Structure 1
Amino acid sequence: MILVTGATGSIGRALMRQLRHDGVAARALVRDEAKGRALGGEFAVGDFDDPRSIAAALNGIDRLFLNGAGAQPADGEQPMVRQQTAIIDAARAAGVDRVVKVSVWHAHEGGRLAEGAHWQIEQHLKGSGLGWSVLQPSGFMQNFVTGQGSFSADGNLVGAYGDAAISYIDCEDIAACAATLLTGPRGDGETFLLSGPQALTHTQIAEKLSAALGRTVRYVNLPADELVAALTSQGLPPQFAEDVAVLMQGVARGVPAPTTTAVRDLTGRAPRTFDDFLTAHREDLAALLVAAHR
């Protein structure tokens, strides 16, 4: 049986649907019982910071899908590192055979925010003695419908990406790659860089959003200091805002631009395009922009 953490997120929900469709036994780890019931399959209520609940959820589990949004750092601490390394240790104690972990694109030592945190977790996993596979996806297309795509109050895109292109990926494709690794022998001891089929600038993304929504969406590029000011005005800690701006500047230098063949290699099909994504999520995106404009 497979335990899916982060089961109510964009990747986890898609993975649970696919495993259920394929007749694979899977258990979702959720914090809210009502959300667990809404998934329509077996679930366990637990919390990353509650070792007893994690141990109970891992009972009878052979493979673990390790995913979960990192909490905003407080005073430099990354709770995700503590939480996920503890789950890896609990998985080893429970006799789990293999862990498939969702990381971030080119996680590296000393990286800011999630880049450095995921690198630490990857190292712990690789040294745990468990079988492992790591997925390092590029930016999520779903960020544009979950409120994390940096829309301004008037419905325009804002950021400090310049003319850099990003190979955004649909979370459905990340889930499909995870399902392949969780249900078969492929990928043990390997790291996979996952991308969409094309790299797009945010100006191009704004044009696609305009066509899909029937209204003009512009991309507004901000200097790093203005972006930091905008983020801190929304209540983010200054250091966190500065780290976000630095990461965007890294993107502006083209770090996430390349596309890869990993999705096709693992699933046998091409990754979804941004146009495919917009067609599937047009109503969600329109509702988000209406809410942002209020």
Structure 2
Amino acid sequence: MTIAITGATGQLGRLVVESLKTRVPAGEILALVRDPAKAADMGVAARAADYTQAETLGPALEGVDTLLLISGNEVGQRLPQHRAVIEAAQAAGVKRIAYTSILRADASPLVLADEHKATEALLKASGLAYTLLRNSWYAENYAGSIHGAVASGALIGSAGQGKISAAARADYAQAAAVVLATDGHENKTYELAGDTAFTLAELAAEISAKAGKTIPYNDLPEAEYAKVLESLGLPAAFAAILAQSDVGASQGGLFDDGHQLSALIGRPTTPISALVASLLP
């Protein structure tokens, strides 16, 4: 039995490997990474695998039974990259692919969902067993915003009163490890989200309590928020995606109260207050 993880040296990938090592022997885990040298500290075997270099994927997947396909981070390029991995997995005889998608990818108002929805369709058409791990937002996505809010005196966004069911990256990683290491997840879709949802106004209140000063939430029009993000150094295209994601949150795109994540990991998810407390001791 060999379980492989793509992007294993990334922030999510490393956490998945660490969690998986508590469930299966390290000798059954394979890190698929662009540079195996960067995986030398992980305590598992590593092979070179690059989403953009299809010739690396077949050899990397040889002998793999179960694959975790962590979605690529190049928005706009992910679908061909994912297709290359899926096709290589078919040719290599991989039996099941688990894929890190986005919450309710088939109905999400977030533009980010488009590539995930298309990748899910590829998986369903592949003939391979699949498991869709539809992750909501990472709590860590707000780390920069929290520091910025304290420095500037206000939290900004375009999410209105939309509730956001975020959880810690480690929570999602643990769920992936459970799915990879146990049976009964074939052809299933999990909507994974935090147990406790919050609005950005509520996040601002949490920041205020920890910072010891009042930090309001200022809700901005989408275009204006994108311009602010640009002014902070983000590329225009990425700033636009983040602003649109906030608008999607205002439409319920990042809210879920099904508690499938905590059910999979067997404990409550990590609340946003824990991130705030870790950043503002």
Q: TM-score, normalised by structure 1?
A: 0.83
Q: Secondary structure of the equivalent of 1:166?
A: coil
Structure 2 residue 18 is matched with structure 1 residue 14: no
Aligned mates of 1:82, 1:16 — CA distance in 2: 25
Aligned mates of 2:104, 2:197 — CA distance in 1: 16
Q: Secondary structure of the equivalent of 1:200?
A: coil
2:32 counterpart (12, 29, 32): 29
| CA deviation after TM superposition for structure 1 residue 210, in Å | 3.8
Aligned mates of 1:21, 1:211 — CA distance in 2: 36
What residue number does 2:170 align with? 172
| CA deviation after TM superposition for structure 1 residue 265, in Å | 2.6
Residue 259 of structure 2 aligns with an amino acid whose one-letter code is: T
Aligned mates of 1:111, 1:23 — CA distance in 2: 37
| Map 1:38-77 → 2, pairs under 5 A | 38-72=41-75
| Deviation digits for residues 2-27 of structure 1 (CA, Å, limit 9, x no counterpart) | 11112123321111001112233211
| Map 1:144-223 → 2, pairs under 5 A | 144-145=142-143, 147=144, 151=148, 154=152, 156-212=154-210, 217-223=215-221
Give the CA RMSD over aligned residues. 2.6
Q: TM-score, normalised by structure 2?
A: 0.87
Residue 205 of structure 2 aligns with an amino acid whose one-letter code is: E
With over 3 angstroms needed to count, the CA separation of the structure-2 counterparts of 1:93 and 1:212, relative to structure 1, is farther
With over 3 angstroms needed to count, the CA separation of the structure-2 counterparts of 1:134 and 1:148, relative to structure 1, is farther
What residue number does 2:258 align with? 260
Aligned mates of 2:113, 2:187 — CA distance in 1: 20
Aligned mates of 1:46, 1:248 — CA distance in 2: 33
Q: Secondary structure of the equivalent of 1:271?
A: coil
With over 3 angstroms needed to count, the CA separation of the structure-2 counterparts of 1:110 and 1:258, relative to structure 1, is closer
Structure 2 residue 235 is matched with structure 1 residue 236: yes
Moved more, 194-203 or 204-213: 204-213
Aligned pair count reads: 276
Contact kept? 1:3, 1:57, Cα under 8 Å: no
Q: Mind listing any 5+ residue stretches in structure 2 that lack a counterpart?
A: none
| CA deviation after TM superposition for structure 1 residue 242, in Å | 4.2
Q: Secondary structure of the equivalent of 1:21?
A: coil
Q: Secondary structure of the equivalent of 1:198?
A: coil
Aligned mates of 1:231, 1:275 — CA distance in 2: 24
With over 3 angstroms needed to count, the CA separation of the structure-2 counterparts of 1:149 and 1:236, relative to structure 1, is farther
Q: Percent identity?
A: 30
| CA deviation after TM superposition for structure 1 residue 218, in Å | 4.0
What residue number does 1:292 align with? none
| Deviation digits for residues 103-129 of structure 1 (CA, Å, limit 9, x no counterpart) | 011213796542100000000001101
Q: Secondary structure of the equivalent of 1:257?
A: coil
Aligned mates of 1:210, 1:236 — CA distance in 2: 29
